[in-house]
């Protein structure tokens, strides 16, 4: 059983390799009636594209998305939405010893172990290009969430040791900042840090934060499909993510209950919380506050410093990875985190629609269409 | 769509509330031929029981597990295994204002928001007793994993600011230590810390670490059902867990690629790794090293210090939670983390069986049974 | 991967063997707010019980259902509903050569082939008692459907060569008729036929028909989870069912298009159909007419006439099955067919709730609860 | 929750509309190591194409399949296989009153009811062209099954009143016969029947039979994912199929147990059956005999005889469907039935691999790869 399908009610099936003919996704369960066209999806694709951001590879990929099905006269029909991006550059290439050696920190070795062999061209399915299908699907889900009053925004929280300063926070800047940071000063410092590493042939990691606003209370399905658990899986499924935390996260382990608990209070007739250490989730269910989570991204393993490794016959060797590579993937991964969060939250919103008999009766009895 | 079923090939359905008639689970997909009886499961149940550990509630629950189906003449038959623990103490009780007020840090508010009302007796389904079904199922999965040469061991890594010292590590001690710590000295320090908090009516959190040994390379299903992603969801689905990290985890975000990459080398004919920052997983697939992950557990929200909150009509009030409660749940949650890891890893091992045509042919063609 | 869980949004997990400790089901996804108690479920259990109908085994089983979870103060809470029936009679018994021989028409041989051995007591999981969990779950689903204005009614359509006469049809009679037939005259003829077979030690099969009324148009999910396809699977999953047809069914294969097509017409402002050869389903989606399907039930394989067979070492032998057995299971299977139809239809109604963006917006935007 | 994904271990996601840009499927779970190229799939596509058979529309579609992912150096890699057929003819066309009226026997009305509007061009997703994705996926599954020694063959069993004669049966003829019949004489009679109907502007239905050979005993997952139940759903999910029966099927309802039971006997050291009324399935599990089932196909609803109907505002009208249409779809549906059977059987074979602990141990312990 392979794992390239995610979701329960809205289900996303992604496909494609780095240097295959094309990559894409099929989204089953897109509700009928959504205004959808390629221009609405493309900006999301551009956010993950290399060449549009500093410190990313210069190769102009021009990942143009095409809608192949599920849309008629500008609206979704309720049938599967198939989205595709063709690979322009599939020309035969010398992959050198990547075909026969195992790059440290990459999935070369584990793919060979699992499948017996691998498509080594550009990393095949373990390439960052795999996320094209995720982002295309995430774009559609974000458009639906917008109709429901829910926004999802991810941004770079830190790169290496350089963190954003919440006092200097401007979410709009993250969309134009070359490092997807919502803090100009931090971005400049991080760029200096990256330049320094680049000169050494080394790479950096970082942390991505994501905030979901407008999510009603009640979303998340105890006990296994809790909102935080589902977000964790979605985000950890992105290559290079090694950690996930919600609200006060790992810091909560050091706090005492009286400090970590968020007090409820009457906020002008609504029930509010004084703090949000919970990150907007109690018992796995959204509480109406902002959902706030963070993902730890490891440094990109493609460094040009020579590394010890073995070839696929087990012989020790020294590997030098040539060519230009991003020395940080965090800025480009921001939209991927956002996409996975959007898919997850929308799916759980749809799952929640049958949680109460009165809600089902409202749909079928009180508001019966025909 | 509710979320009380987990797994793909081995599927666990849990049920039951804190003060209902009983709690339990049904495991569909237990392979035929496993030696199974109640004595083999009970030790796992006892590890999560209160009263068996310091700083846990004194109430002697005696959670005796019964096998109701799926076993014949001492072996599993391949049909669903139904496991049940009856609640001994269901007597009517004065739940005071818990029925009508929202405890900070608890799921009272979100259950009301989602379902319209809630079983408030002892927290209902959001109680820690919900994990009885998880541990019973985890026990069965650990027994199967043992047959496959795989072990899963979780233990307390830290309580509040007190961490274990790797130089003082003895995994066997964690099974008898009152705080499930594999380091006696740390355990004593942590106990002093808890006593101090207890006197103030406050509570502590901590971190649980889990190590999986003997897992072959190749386990995990890219791109959405990766091993780390699946473990993250399983572990975050446990109440009070607020963070998850694999290998170097959040620390990886601060490292450079040349430091974080694990070099491969020829280890007497096998392919080994010099370090294990990856936590045993590359590209979402096990690499044959130990799997190492950590879970952050928030401080238990039941503190006896008076807290600000609202009642279910939205009126501000001050809440005093009476009665004895654990002021740390980490030691009892250790076996729950281990159980969720066992269920997840076994499921992914079974999912991996169809990853190669030659494996399928070995099953049906070369070794054909009839 | 075993198959004891069914459904997508409402998910039913059944468990239990004929002579184990108990049998039951867990229903995940029962919406909160349904009035539920044991008295509401028991009548469904009684309809499938032997001893309550002519030509069924006299053993008084008294299958009393217990609710173990998911209900608080008389209403469902949205958490899993666990239902259990204890087996009263588990006393050790001489199963004679059933343990070591393969009864023709039974699953003895195939269970051994699949699992390596089997619980031979009373057929184990392949016994008709397996349906206890189905009927308990079906009862809950029928109660929900009733709230939504949908009724499901199955009845005996034929036994052997004796068919009901539509001119003599009275659905209420099927609930009290010993053969579950809605036609008294046919029932009498069928009883005579069964008596005759009984004297010869032989058995009969028959056809069960099921009518679903009040189902709105739009239910069913193309292309794989169509309403008719889903009903077919649900019904064929019942032991002894060998065929399924919807509307004109197999007869349609002989008709011409101009005869088989159902004309639409304006029925006092609503769109109606002149005929219902489609059985209420077009393109896998309900059209607002009655859903009508039939299931073919094979003759019960337990005949007392000596039969040729082999033992589990492959030796030829003659088998004589002793003891009282129903010589027709059709009347008792009627409520099982009804239950499977109810589970299926409810699940598809819940699945349909996210088919249109405007329906989702109605739920979350226009009628937003908090 | 939409229904365009099928399968559990091998999962097929189909997409596309009759007159959209393209149609296709994504197959997740294809094991690594299968020799696959477009030439191996194309013959299956050609069997369903119109214009290749008598009594089918003359439009030369030339459904050329392309492999977009999942294959490297001529073999599958274990990653998703994406298959696509581009629609050549998408030119704007006058769909006349099909856009605004409801064709009897078609899904126009129900799609409008479910989704609010529909892609009316050529039937959109309810067109027969939807099956392109099924057949492409079915081809891949049949190629895998061939490696496992299992063959799946469907053919036309009857058209209207004309049935094949088992004495005149030659399976090879069905692949070249214009009506997919394995009996030349019957085919000629059926052609005369169709010609006669064609002159009247009327259409015919028929029955398709499918035989699966080489399937080992033990396949099928009680109690809900039985082999026969799963086949029934897969086959009923094909448009126009109105009935399904296995083995003696509906006829079994009229037989007595002593006649319908298949006796076991020692067949030169193997356990054989004297007859095969069970159609190769006992208790939902294959018994090692041939699997034999039949599907009833209704007459194609597109008749040129004027029909009563309503438009989408509910006004009564008379509809005349113009243009050339097949007046029987049975011959082209044969490969679709075969494809759905292949997908289903392969999926259940993979599901069965974890049914016994010893089988899992053989995979991971005895034959451990690394």
Please list the residues that pair with A209 across neighbouring strands.
Answer: A155, A294
Q: Which residues contact A366 (CB under 8 A, 6 or more apart)?
A: none
Chain B partners of C118 at a C-beta cutoff of 8 Å? Answer: 72, 77
Q: What is the pLDDT along chain B (370 residues), one digit of tens a residue?
A: 999 999 999 999 999 999 999 999 999 999 999 999 999 999 999 999 865 555 555 444 579 999 999 999 999 999 999 999 999 866 666 677 788 999 999 999 999 999 999 999 989 999 999 999 999 999 999 999 999 999 999 999 999 999 999 999 999 999 999 999 999 999 999 999 999 999 999 999 999 999 999 999 999 999 999 999 999 999 999 999 999 999 999 999 999 999 999 999 999 999 999 999 999 999 999 999 999 999 999 999 999 999 999 999 999 999 998 777 789 999 999 999 999 999 999 999 999 999 999 999 999 998 665 4
CA–CA min distance D190, chain C (Å): 12
Q: What is the mean pLDDT of residues A47-68?
A: 70
Q: In this predicted structure, what is the pLDDT of residue B28? A: 98
**Distance separating the N- and C-terminal Cα atoms of chain D:** 41
Q: In this predicted structure, what is the pLDDT of residue B238? A: 98
Q: In this predicted structure, what is the pLDDT of residue A326? A: 85
Q: In this predicted structure, what is the pLDDT of residue C151? A: 98
Q: Do A66 and D21 touch (CB under 8 A)?
A: yes
Helix-then-strand count for chain A, H and E: 10, 18
CA–CA min distance C10, chain D (Å): 12
Chain B partners of C32 at a C-beta cutoff of 8 Å? Answer: 114-117
Q: CA A197 to CA A191: how far, in whole Å? A: 10
Task: Check CB contact of D319 with chain C, cutoff 8 Å.
Answer: no
Chain B partners of D359 at a C-beta cutoff of 8 Å? Answer: 31, 363
Q: Quick one: which of D286, D271, D217, D213 has its CA closest to B369?
A: D217
Are C141 and C25 in contact, with CB atoms under 8 Å apart?
Answer: no
Mean pLDDT of chain C: 94
Q: Where are the domains of chain C?
A: 5-369
Q: Which residue of D lies nearest to A18 if distances are taken between CA atoms? A: D69
Q: In this predicted structure, what is the pLDDT of residue D342? A: 98
User: Which chains are adjacent to chain C, needing at least 3 Cβ pairs under 8 Å?
Assistant: A, B, D
Are C207 and C157 in contact, with CB atoms under 8 Å apart?
Answer: yes
Q: In this predicted structure, what is the pLDDT of residue D107? A: 97
Give the closest of B5, B20, B77 to C28, CB-based. Answer: B5
Q: In this predicted structure, what is the pLDDT of residue C322? A: 79
CA–CA min distance A365, chain C (Å): 6
Q: Which residue of C lies nearest to B9 if distances are taken between CA atoms? A: C1
| Percentage of residues of chain C with pLDDT beyond 90 | 89
For domain A5-369, give the fold.
Answer: Chorismate synthase, AroC fold (3.60.150)
Chain A partners of B308 at a C-beta cutoff of 8 Å? Answer: 263-265, 274
Q: At C37, is the pLDDT very low, low, confident or very high (cuts 50, 70, 90)?
A: very high
Are D26 and D81 in contact, with CB atoms under 8 Å apart?
Answer: yes
CA–CA min distance A74, chain B (Å): 30
Chain B partners of C77 at a C-beta cutoff of 8 Å? Answer: 17, 115, 117-119, 124-125
CA–CA min distance B105, chain D (Å): 33
pLDDT tens, residue by residue, D158-176: 999 999 999 999 999 999 9
Q: What is the mean pLDDT of residues D172-189?
A: 96
DSSP 8-class letter at D107:
S
Q: At A368, is the pLDDT very low, low, confident or very high (cuts 50, 70, 90)?
A: low
Which H/E stretch holds residue D285? Answer: strand D285-286
Residue C125, judged by CB atoms within 10 A of its CB (0-12, 13-18, 19+), counts as: buried
Q: In this predicted structure, what is the pLDDT of residue A90? A: 62
Are C104 and D260 in contact, with CB atoms under 8 Å apart?
Answer: no
| Percentage of residues of chain C with pLDDT beyond 70 | 94
Task: Check CB contact of C274 with chain D, cutoff 8 Å.
Answer: yes
pLDDT tens, residue by residue, A63-115: 999 999 999 999 999 999 999 999 986 666 667 778 899 999 999 999 999 99
Q: Rounded to 5 degrees, what are φ and ψ at B223? A: -105, -15
Q: In this predicted structure, what is the pLDDT of residue B88? A: 84
Q: Which residues contact D259 (CB under 8 A, 6 or more apart)?
A: C299
Task: Check CB contact of C33 with chain B, cutoff 8 Å.
Answer: yes
Task: Check CB contact of C268 with chain A, cutoff 8 Å.
Answer: no
Q: CA A352 to CA C370: how far, in whole Å? A: 14
Interface of D with A in 118-157 (CB under 8 A): 118-119, 121, 124-125
Q: Which residue of D lies nearest to C1 if distances are taken between CA atoms? A: D351
User: Which chains are adjacent to chain A, needing at least 3 Cβ pairs under 8 Å?
Assistant: B, C, D
Q: Which residues contact A259 (CB under 8 A, 6 or more apart)?
A: B299
Residue A59 has pLDDT above 50, yes or no: no
Q: CA A154 to CA A297: how far, in whole Å? A: 13
Give the closest of D110, D234, D351 to C217, CB-based. Answer: D110
Q: Which residues contact C146 (CB under 8 A, 6 or more apart)?
A: none
Chain D partners of B365 at a C-beta cutoff of 8 Å? Answer: 147-149
Task: Check CB contact of A264 with chain C, cutoff 8 Å.
Answer: no
Task: Check CB contact of B110 with chain C, cutoff 8 Å.
Answer: no
Q: Do A370 and C9 touch (CB under 8 A)?
A: no
Task: Check CB contact of C78 with chain A, cutoff 8 Å.
Answer: yes
Residue D364 has pLDDT above 80, yes or no: yes
Chain C partners of D301 at a C-beta cutoff of 8 Å? Answer: 257, 260-261
| Percentage of residues of chain A with pLDDT beyond 90 | 89
pLDDT tens, residue by residue, D105-132: 999 999 999 999 999 998 999 999 999 9
Q: Do B250 and A223 touch (CB under 8 A)?
A: no
Q: In this predicted structure, what is the pLDDT of residue C238? A: 98
Task: Check CB contact of B79 with chain C, cutoff 8 Å.
Answer: yes
Residue C272 has pLDDT above 80, yes or no: yes
Q: CA A32 to CA C356: how far, in whole Å? A: 5
Residue D96 has pLDDT above 80, yes or no: no
Q: In this predicted structure, what is the pLDDT of residue C180? A: 96
Q: Do B271 and A355 touch (CB under 8 A)?
A: no
Task: Check CB contact of D32 with chain B, cutoff 8 Å.
Answer: yes
Q: In this predicted structure, what is the pLDDT of residue C47? A: 94
pTM over 0.95: yes
Task: Check CB contact of D1 with chain A, cutoff 8 Å.
Answer: yes
Q: Do C80 and B118 touch (CB under 8 A)?
A: no
Q: Quick one: which of A282, A226, A222, A258 has its CA closest to B300?
A: A258
Q: Do B257 and A299 touch (CB under 8 A)?
A: yes
Q: What is the mean pLDDT of residues D146-155?
A: 98
**Token duo for residue D207:** 């029955």
Are A58 and A51 in contact, with CB atoms under 8 Å apart?
Answer: yes
pLDDT tens, residue by residue, C149-194: 999 999 999 999 999 999 999 999 999 999 999 999 999 999 999 9
Give the closest of A15, A75, A117 to D82, CB-based. Answer: A15
Q: What is the mean pLDDT of residues C290-317?
A: 96
Q: What is the mean pLDDT of residues D299-308?
A: 95
Q: CA B368 to CA D200: how far, in whole Å? A: 55
Q: Which of C76, C363, C370 to mutate to test the interface with A (most CBs of A within 10 A)?
A: C363
| Block residue for tokens 């064609």 | D198
Q: Which residues contact D172 (CB under 8 A, 6 or more apart)?
A: D182
Residue A38 has pLDDT above 80, yes or no: yes
Q: Do B2 and C113 touch (CB under 8 A)?
A: no
**Token duo for residue C48:** 């499938």
């Amino acid at each position: 059983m392979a794992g390239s399908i995610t979701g329960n009610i809205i289900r996303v099936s992604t496909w494609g390799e780095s240097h295959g003919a094309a990559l894409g996704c099929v989204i089953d369960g897109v509700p009928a009636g959504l205004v959808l066209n390629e221009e609405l999806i493309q900006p999301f694709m551009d956010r993950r594209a290399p060449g549009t951001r500093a410190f990313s590879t210069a190769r102009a990929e021009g990942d143009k998305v095409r809608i192949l099905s599920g849309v008629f006269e500008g609206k979704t029909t309720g049938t599967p939405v198939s989205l595709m991006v063709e690979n322009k550059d599939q020309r035969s290439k010398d992959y050198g010893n990547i075909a026969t050696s195992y790059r440290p920190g990459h999935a070369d070795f584990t793919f060979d172990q699992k499948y017996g062999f691998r498509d080594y061209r550009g990393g095949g399915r373990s390439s960052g290009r795999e996320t094209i299908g995720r982002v295309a699907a995430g774009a559609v889900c974000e458009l639906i969430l917008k109709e429901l009053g829910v926004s999802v925004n991810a941004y770079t929280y830190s790169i290496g040791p350089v963190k954003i300063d919440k006092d200097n926070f401007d979410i709009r800047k993250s969309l134009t900042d070359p490092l997807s940071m919502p803090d100009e000063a931090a971005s400049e410092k991080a760029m200096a840090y990256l330049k320094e590493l680049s000169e050494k042939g080394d790479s950096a990691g970082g942390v991505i934060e994501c905030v979901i606003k407008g999510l009603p209370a009640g979303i998340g399905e105890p006990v296994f499909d809790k909102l935080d658990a589902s977000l964790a899986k979605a985000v950890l499924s992105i290559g290079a993510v090694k950690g996930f935390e919600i609200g006060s996260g790992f810091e909560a382990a050091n706090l005492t209950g009286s400090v970590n608990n968020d007090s409820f209070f009457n906020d002008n007739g609504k029930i509010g919380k004084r703090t949000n250490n919970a990150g907007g989730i109690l018992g796995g269910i959204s509480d109406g506050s902002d959902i706030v989570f963070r993902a730890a991204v490891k440094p990109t393993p493609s460094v040009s410093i020579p590394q010890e490794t073995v070839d696929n016959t087990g012989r020790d060797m020294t590997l030098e990875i040539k060519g230009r590579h991003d020395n940080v993937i965090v800025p480009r991964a921001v939209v991927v985190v956002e996409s996975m969060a959007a898919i997850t939250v929308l799916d759980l919103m749809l799952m929640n629609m049958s949680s109460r008999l009165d809600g089902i009766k409202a749909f079928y009895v009180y508001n019966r269409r025909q």
